[in-house]
Amino acid sequence: MKLLQKEFVANVDKTGDMKFIQLRKDKGVALYERRRFDKSLFGYEVFIVKTVEAGSPLPGGSTVEETYEQYPGASAFGKTAYAPATLERAEEMFDQLVERVKVTKANPGRRGRVGKSNTVTVTVPVGKFTMNQWVEESGQDYFFLRKKMKKLLNDGRVQKVGTEKNEGSRGKPKIIYKLVNEASQCV
């Protein structure tokens, strides 16, 4: 099997060539540091390593000849790959992803829609909170929690209590939510 490179140079997001240096790799999760060529720090990338099996189909009708580990593409970021700015946050996310991989391997289920037997229980924060705070606290994927939030709002278990916008920021304001009945904190 062809493993991820420990160091490589690439221009992956049209910001110029960067040097990628593997800092940690454990239990299917990797942490890389990104540096500019003047040796200044650009940031970090943490992701679940995807393994592409030999025999997998490729565009054009050919197949993969040797099993290899794949660095994530742009579409993986926000789902199984993240780009934290600090090493401290990158290491926190690394540990969270290792736990996520453990849970997935213990209960693989099936891909696609999750059935009743594969439901995940998540705790809703007590008091006022935003979606970003919930994502941080739970360690779950934003899109997964967004679906949960829609259901909670429809069921009347959570309500919108206001909005918050940082001064001088652009974009939509953050919505502030509140759990209606704290006894129903697990969803």
Given its phi and psi angles, is residue 6 left (phi above 0), alpha (psi -120 to 50 degrees) or beta?
Answer: alpha
pLDDT score recorded for residue 186: 62
pLDDT score recorded for residue 117: 44
Overall domain count for the chain: 2
* pTM higher than 0.75: no
Q: Are residues 85 and 28 in the same domain?
A: yes
**Domain of 51, in residue numbers:** 1-108
Q: Are residues 62 and 124 in the same domain?
A: no
- What are the structure tokens assigned to 107, written together? 């209960």
pLDDT score recorded for residue 50: 92
How would you write the pLDDT of the chain (187 residues) with one tens digit per residue? 899 999 999 988 888 899 999 999 998 999 999 999 899 999 999 999 999 998 888 888 899 999 999 999 888 998 899 999 999 999 999 999 998 888 776 665 555 554 444 566 778 888 888 888 888 888 788 888 888 889 888 988 888 999 888 777 777 888 889 888 765 556 5
pLDDT score recorded for residue 15: 81
Q: Are residues 77 and 154 in the same domain?
A: no
In a domain, residue 42? The reply is: yes
CA angle 133, 35, 18 (to 5 degrees): 110
pLDDT score recorded for residue 110: 54
CA angle 165, 84, 36 (to 5 degrees): 120
CATH number at residue 130: 1.10.10.10
In a domain, residue 113? The reply is: no
Q: Are residues 27 and 52 in the same domain?
A: yes
Name residue 176's amino acid: I
pLDDT score recorded for residue 140: 82
- Compute CA distances 141 → 7, 39, 61, 96, 112, whole Å: 28, 32, 34, 11, 15
Q: How far apart are CA 140 and CA 100, in angstroms?
A: 9
Q: Are residues 52 and 141 in the same domain?
A: no
